[in-house]
């Protein structure tokens, strides 16, 4: 074999190896997920970490978990800045209709799985003179930052009770908000989060609390303001010193994805979620302990990503 031919063969082999390496790196990059969850001190952030560590990593996915919120996550998915994130059906309906806080209709986001209910809680110190929502007039309440459904829910409730502009809202994180109640710098704290909310649980150990209830009439008026809230009862004993059921609202938490996420990727993510369900339930967060495989496909009227739908059909979860 002459030297020129040998050099060409060596060069071709090196090129093939480089192409193979590049393809392998690209495949690895394709298995990296950009995830958006909630505030760093909130429950959604830790729940996404649980998903990443117990479900996605064992299935070969790398992941990056960024802070977010129910509405901002949908925006991140719609613009391709994220692959998957937590939100709620109520938010997806608002996005599809182009309702505030969305400035235009968003129809390029679908659902991978339904996870668990997310209730609204509003607490005040037990020795407060606030015993109903109408007593909040002129008071200061901790509200979530913009981009979270908690902020939307609070605004909807204030409109329901005709108190828009009549309540001072101090934006803070969950941990900051509960600390403000503890130190009596604010009168109330309202948030949508899985029960028990750890920060409220800790506060209830040191200070007696009162939870404000919503009547059936209140719920009817609320759904005139914004349809989609679901009646919910937080059982007595969920928190220290909570001796009675709390009548409130909830909206389910779903794992949403961008529509242009490759079908194979969505299929593998869904498969990993179902096969890793036991590890997810044992990961720590109480909200994840009751997640059932067949319930993941119960997303109501929200569109399933084709990759997720394919896997659920194979498992017999949907027709």
The domain covering 31-117+252-315 belongs, at the CATH homologous superfamily level, to Periplasmic binding protein-like II (3.40.190.10)
pLDDT of residue 27 exceeding 60: no
Residues 44 and 254: their CA atoms lie apart, in Å, by: 11
Neighbours of 114 (CB within 10 A): 21
User: Could you tell me the CATH superfamily of domain 119-251?
Assistant: Periplasmic binding protein-like II (3.40.190.10)
Contact 88, 269 (CB under 8 A): no
pLDDT band at 301 (very low <50, low <70, confident <90, very high): confident
At residue 110, does pLDDT exceed 90? yes
pLDDT for the residue 146: 84
pLDDT classification of 149: cutoffs 50, 70, 90: confident
The CA distance from 146 to 169, in Å, is: 12
Query: What whole-number percentage of the chain has pLDDT above 90?
Result: 73
On the question of a common fold for 31-117+252-315 and 119-251, the answer reads yes
Q: Where are the domains of the chain?
A: 31-117+252-315, 119-251
Integer-rounded Cα Rg, in Å, for the chain is 23
**What's the rounded mean pLDDT across residues 54-77?**
96
Alpha-carbon gap, residue 295 to 318, rounded angstroms: 10
Residue 131: count other Cβ atoms within 10 Å of its Cβ.
11
Q: Which residue has the higher pLDDT, 13 or 121?
A: 121
For residue 128, list its beta bridge partners: none
**CA-CA distance, 117 to 203, in Å (whole number)?**
22
pLDDT tens digits, one per residue of 205-223: 999 999 999 999 999 999 9
Q: What is the pLDDT of residue 22?
A: 33
Share the mean pLDDT of the chain.
Answer: 89
């Amino acid at each position: 074999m002459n030297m020129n031919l040998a050099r060409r063969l060596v060069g071709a082999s090196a090129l093939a190896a480089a192409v193979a390496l590049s393809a392998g790196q690209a495949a690895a990059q394709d298995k990296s997920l950009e995830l958006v969850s909630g505030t760093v001190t909130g429950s959604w952030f830790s729940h996404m970490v649980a998903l990443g560590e117990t479900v996605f990593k064992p299935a070969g996915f790398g992941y990056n978990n960024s802070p977010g919120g129910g509405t901002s996550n949908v925006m991140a998915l719609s613009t391709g800045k994220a692959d998957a994130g937590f939100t709620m059906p109520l938010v997806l309906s608002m996005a599809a209709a182009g309702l505030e806080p969305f400035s235009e209709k968003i129809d390029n986001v679908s659902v991978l799985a339904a996870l668990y209910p997310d209730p609204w809680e509003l607490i005040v110190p037990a020795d407060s003179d606030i015993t109903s929502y109408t007593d909040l007039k002129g008071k200061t309440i901790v509200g979530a930052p913009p981009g979270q459904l908690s902020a939307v829910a609070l605004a909807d409730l204030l409109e329901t009770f005709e108190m828009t502009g009549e309540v001072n809202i101090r934006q803070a994180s969950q941990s900051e908000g509960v600390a403000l109640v503890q130190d009596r710098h604010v009168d109330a704290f309202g948030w949508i989060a899985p029960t028990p909310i750890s920060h409220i649980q800790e506060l209830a150990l040191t200070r007696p609390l009162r939870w404000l209830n919503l009547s059936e009439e209140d719920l009817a008026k609320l759904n005139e303001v914004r349809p989609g809230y679901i009646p919910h009862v937080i059982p007595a004993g969920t928190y220290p010193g909570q001796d009675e059921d709390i009548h409130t609202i909830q909206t389910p938490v779903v794992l949403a994805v961008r529509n242009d996420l490759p079908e194979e990727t969505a299929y593998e993510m869904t498969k990993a979620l179902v096969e890793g369900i036991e590890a997810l339930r044992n990961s720590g967060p109480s909200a994840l302990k009751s997640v059932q495989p067949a319930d993941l496909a119960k997303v109501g009227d929200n569109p399933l990503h084709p990759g997720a739908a394919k896997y659920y059909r194979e498992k017999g979860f949907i027709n």
